[in-house]
Structure 1
Amino acid sequence: MKLDLGISPCPNDTFIFYHLSKQGVAGNPVRLVFADVEELNRRAIEEARHAITKLSYAAMARLGDRYRLLQTGGALGRGCGPILISYDPMSADEARGRMRRVLIPGKYTTANLLMHLYLNDHGVDVSRIEFIPVRYDEIIPALNSGDADFGVIIHEERFTYKDHGLSAVQDLGAWWEAATGLPIPLGCIAVRNDVPEHLIPAIENGIRSSLQ
């Protein structure tokens, strides 16, 4: 049985899947398929394409009937969440009042879910806001081009937005931690339900082998 493994080009993914890519799963070869995490979310939700896949936790919440969550490879953390940024410096209160167009790194991402939860928590009518999906690495250039006034950034963009003259409005991860006391649920690894049960421990152990 050949297993498709959908992963993002994020260094975390390439690291944790090294063992599976080299050794396979209990004698079954693994074929790596690289895609942005939102594309992987979409493929899972719309067609359950990959046997093993990286997903946003927000997407996994929609997929309990088609995928199962693995016990290894998930990314939950503190101080590492998405950040709402703007072209012009302003307070969070001012931003919530002015917000009309927001660039997001994907409809099914945890970043988008946190953004909606944050706005709902502050009584903002999200129906007046246009949320525009853009690949995560295109959000900063799009803001600087005037495509929107706000964007939600993830990954390495969290560390580089100031270099592009942009300003932080709200650390959505910090808001989540303060509101819930819980770590931020970012990404997870899931296996399609038709993957034989006896292969699940081998997949999880393969991920552990890369981490140890």
Structure 2
Amino acid sequence: MRIAYSPCPNDTFVFHAWAHGLIPGAPKLDVTYADIDITNNLALRGEGPEVLKISYAALPWVLSDYALLPCGGALGRGCGPLVLIRDGTGDPAFLSGRKVAVPSERSTAYLLFRLWAARKVPAGVGEIVVMPFHEIMPAVRDGSIDAGLVIHEARFTYPSYGLSLLADMGSWWEEDTGLPIPLGAIIARRSLETKKIADWIRASVEYAWAHPEASRDYVMEHAQEMDPAVAQAHIDLYVNDFTANLGQDGYAAISSLLGRAAREGLVPEFDEKLLTLA
């Protein structure tokens, strides 16, 4: 079975057991490691693997062909995207007319940013530039862009680039809704036995928690020279109860985010019944 997910520690931690043949009855995986912008576009074109990790923001475009699985993804609290700048200021108006880098035009990070900016930067930001997430902080540091919307381990490492936090999209979302932040979704083609795939993913998550040392080499092999302590902090933050089961709060958060975005014309209208497995 073909699958695509990022080389980030949370994904390699979650899928280690299945990728290494440790889940009884699960098919062998052919893994593609790719940035979220790449996996979003693979799903949008319908050319991707049978199972993918994508942004929740891209979900409304693909729900007719792909089912959202209730496990394996990234959703939580205190883990939202950050807006970073080189010189310290806490005033969102700084972004008016500025050049801002984002990790994907259909990333959840950018969707949250658009919802936030509509309220906090009424004059509007300037140019939006799409960059691989690991290139954004160096670009802000070097002055080639004015601000960057960052995800993943950047939450832990941005001070080492001499950058300042302008706004935390996750904190804004949680204060505004009281709900967790839906970031990355795991989807599978509807033509497959999606409930079985969900069971295999959940078994992989549970194996990872039961044997945390087993995945360490695999995680660090793909962690792009990340410090082991940062990789562990990344896992601790992004792999949580919602990774094993979205549950009522998880589905409420997804429905709230995408419903609000649809009402504001940022994503297509969609049938909420398609969010859950039949």
TM-score, length of structure 1 as denominator length? 0.89
Offset of residue 28 of structure 1 = 2.8
Q: Which has the higher mean CA deviation after the structures are superposed, 85-94 or 60-69?
A: 85-94
From 165, 169, 174, the equivalent of 1:168 is 165
SS in 2 for 1:28: coil
* Equivalent residue, structure 1, for 2:257: none
Considering only aligned residues, what root-mean-square deviation do their CA atoms show, in Å?
2.0
SS in 2 for 1:71: coil
From 137, 140, 161, the equivalent of 1:140 is 137
Offset of residue 198 of structure 1 = 6.4
Higher strand share: 1
SS in 1 for 2:20: helix
Moved over 4 A (4+): none
Question: Aligned ranges for residues 1-212 of structure 1 at < 5 Å?
Answer: 3-23=1-21, 26=25, 28-97=27-96, 99-122=97-120, 124-126=122-124, 129-197=126-194, 199-212=196-209
How many pairs does the alignment contain?
208
> Which consecutive unaligned segments of at least 5 residues does structure 1 have?
none
Q: Which amino acid aligns with 1:45?
A: L
Write the distance in 2 (CA, Å) between the matches of 1:27 and 1:187: 23
> Which consecutive unaligned segments of at least 5 residues does structure 2 have?
210-278
Whether the aligned pair in 2 keeps the contact of 1:48 and 1:192 (CA below 8 Å) is no
Q: Which has the higher mean CA deviation after the structures are superposed, 27-36 or 7-16?
A: 27-36
TM-score, length of structure 2 as denominator length? 0.69
SS in 2 for 1:188: strand
Whether the aligned pair in 2 keeps the contact of 1:85 and 1:153 (CA below 8 Å) is yes
Percent of matched pairs sharing the same residue? 36
Whether the aligned pair in 1 keeps the contact of 2:92 and 2:166 (CA below 8 Å) is no
Offset of residue 78 of structure 1 = 1.0
Q: Which has the higher mean CA deviation after the structures are superposed, 14-23 or 151-160?
A: 14-23
